[in-house]
Amino acid sequence: MSTLCIHGLGYIGLPTAAMFANYGHDVVGYDTSEEVVSRLSQGDVHIDEPGLRAFVTQAIESDKLTISNEVVSAKYHIICVPTPFDRESKEAGLEYVESAGEAIVPHLRPGDTVILESTVPPGTTADVLRPVLEESTLEAGKDFALAHCPETVLPGDIITELKQNARIIGGVNGVSTEAAVRLYESFVEAEIHTTADATTAEFVKLIQNTFRDANIAIANEIAKLSHDYEIDSREAISLANEHPRVNIHHPGPGVGGHCLPVDPWFLGQNSEKLDLIKHAREVNDGMSSYIIDILDEELDGLEDSTIAILGVAYKGNVGDTRESPGLKLARELQSPAMQEEEPALADGGPQADPVKAPTVTLHDPHVTDQTLQLSPLEEAVDDADAIVVTTDHDEFEEMDPHSVGRWMDGDLIVDTKAILDEHDWNTEGFRVSRI
């Protein structure tokens, strides 16, 4: 068993710290946020993830996991910090990775191993993190090991996937790779694959998520085409997938989370070769505009309408709102572009009254973000002209159409996740439009 210092106690760092601790390692979980450190020290887990609270509590109560606001010396330093995405430049912000490296430098000793888990553009471990760490005067690959081991977990099942998903590990040299493999072998039940270098490991993680994003873009474009031909896109995709070499994903309101909408851009950060991948990103990002077009068509205009958006988490049965398609749709419905004034009258008279953007209400039973104006279901759909389902929560699938019908003014349901029983809702007088 080894001593570890985990840098960053977010969606990945905290479960990772608890995992190593529950498998017998002595772990210090470090975070720069005083609030996170304070809450965890009091047993208050700040992340909504099934089973995580008990898992972290077990690690802390066993005295194998210590929460700290200070970096400590350790045999292994694992960096799990965020890599913010700049929407304008389409580039990763690596300031947290660099800061983590700088925090490690005073504690780095010969024989230690540093592992970067954060999702980063190819070349970050070797070209960004390595120079920072070598300010210690120690040489990576010789005096200390340096490797990249990307996380590949899915919120909602993180603990299981940490253990059961295959891992990809690449170091700056073979010795570094071997040092990282020895550590992860202590709890990973699946196969651990090694790559020729850290950059390949970074690249592999990004192309995994890029494949999924591009596949969803194909499904979304198929959904648009299907609408023009008045056929059910999901039936067509399901039948197409009966072929043994076809596996088209599901269409929907766009993609969310920190990975799929972001990783394809990271892939091209140091290259000018993005083409098909870039277009796939644009297709998925454009689904909110497509939904607005459906609403506008079905409601004969959006002026003065009320739209209830059900689901601001980016995926079903979790509370994670990162890159949420539902929130993106809400922002676009209330954007200045929706309120542009009409051009002046031909006779030079006064302009027509400006178009009034629709009222948007939000409901999500899993999200607890106090900065969002969330409403209970009945209040959110009260007097609504249309409902848009943007997250496949179990609670939405189980909604009673009769009750919803009594609360609503309108009868339009845009089911972007195809989770509602069309027959039941149609029987209650609703018009259901699916993507």
d(CA 413, CA 227): 16
Is 224 assigned a catalytic role? no
Q: Which two tokens stand for residue 150?
A: 């990307």
Rg of the chain (C-alpha set):
24
Q: How far does the chain reach from its first CA to its final CA, in angstroms? A: 51
Catalytic residue (choose from 64, 149, 259, 328): 259
Q: Where are the beta strands (DSSP E) in 97-241?
A: 113-116, 145-148, 167-171, 192-194
Q: Which two tokens stand for residue 40?
A: 């965890």
d(CA 306, CA 383): 7
Cβ atoms 285, 338 nearer than 8 A? no
- The CA angle 36-40-41, to the nearest 5 degrees, is 115
Is 259 assigned a catalytic role? yes
- The CA angle 350-352-356, to the nearest 5 degrees, is 145
- Where do we find the tokens 């200045």? 336
Catalytic residue (choose from 5, 80, 149, 205): 205
Residues 6+ apart with CB under 8 A from 93: 83, 84, 85, 86
Taking alpha carbons only, the member of 105, 81, 108 closest to residue 93 is: 81
Q: What residues are labeled active site? A: 205, 259
